[in-house]
Amino acid sequence: MIKISPSILSSDYGNLEKELKRMEDCGADMIHIDVMDGHFVPNITLGAPVVKCIRKACRLPFDVHLMISDPCKYIPDFAEAGADIITFHLEADCDAQKTVELIRSYNIKAGISVKPGTAIEEVFPYLDRLSMVLVMTVEPGFGGQSFMEDMMPKVRTLRAEAERRGLDIDIEVDGGINCDTIAKASEAGANVFVSGNAVFSSADPKKTIEQFRAKALG
Ligand code: DX5
Ligand code: ZN
């Protein structure tokens, strides 16, 4: 199932409630929340208290992308704040299996993300316990970067492995998604598409999301 997950990294942080409602009205399927700690990535965004405050602003699932060095320390806070999916990085300083089980212990969907330099096979040992794998198509840290098409073989390999195991897993791509790149990612096997800049800078985000969906469906 195709899902469009606008990233609030490119939204107006002074009007988050309005921005979330706007995305809901524009047909988004989820809200992608980029959490950065200034250590795992060279940028700082927001923490669980903000997630808790914006939880009441819209009904869409919160797709929380943790770009932080110590995910286990903060997962309980994000779970209690209302996250629906929590994705952490395989490159973070944690035991991945324990981290997946910690997320699942809150009845929340667990995801693992890989940076461009990490081989996709590294997530295979955890695949059976995951709802989603996030393949980064830019170096994490900032919005508005260019899509790395050379990540598509990773998406293909992952989709093939999921099918081989009979797993109905979401494959999310994040970074540089627009009307052109979404078709390439979808064709490779991705079905969840994060978009910051292209959606939030659009004069007509509803139309952009509709176009995304059409392009992703091929
Ligand atoms: C980057 C973030 C992305 C970012 C995507 O580290 O994980 O979610 O917001 O933004 P665009 O779509 O502008 O590349
Ligand atoms: Zn993200």
pLDDT tens per residue across span 18-74: 999 999 999 999 999 999 999 999 999 999 999 999 999 999 999 999 999 999 999
Is residue 87 within 8 A of residue 99, CB to CB? The reply is no
pLDDT above 90 (res 218): no
Pocket of ligand 1 contains residue 6 by CB under 6 Å: no
Residues ≥6 apart with Cβ < 8 Å to 26: 199, 205, 206, 209
Pocket of ligand 1 contains residue 197 by CB under 6 Å: yes
* Gap from CA of 162 to ligand 2 centroid (Å): 22
Query: In this structure, which CATH number among 4.10.490.10, 2.40.30.260, 3.20.20.70, 1.20.1250.20 belongs to the domain 3-217?
Result: 3.20.20.70
pLDDT above 90 (res 121): yes
Residues ≥6 apart with Cβ < 8 Å to 166: none
Please give the single-letter amino acid code of residue 202: S
Domain ranges within the chain, ordered by starting residue = 3-217
Is residue 83 within 8 A of residue 108, CB to CB? The reply is yes
Pairing relationship of beta strands 3-6 and 132-136 according to DSSP bridges: unpaired
Question: pTM of the full predicted structure?
Answer: 0.98
Verify whether residue 174 is a known catalytic residue: yes
Pocket of ligand 1 contains residue 145 by CB under 6 Å: yes
> pLDDT per residue over 158-203, tens digit each?
999 999 999 999 999 999 999 999 999 999 999 999 999 999 999 9
Sign of the C-alpha dihedral computed for residues 174, 179, 158 and 85 taken in this order: positive
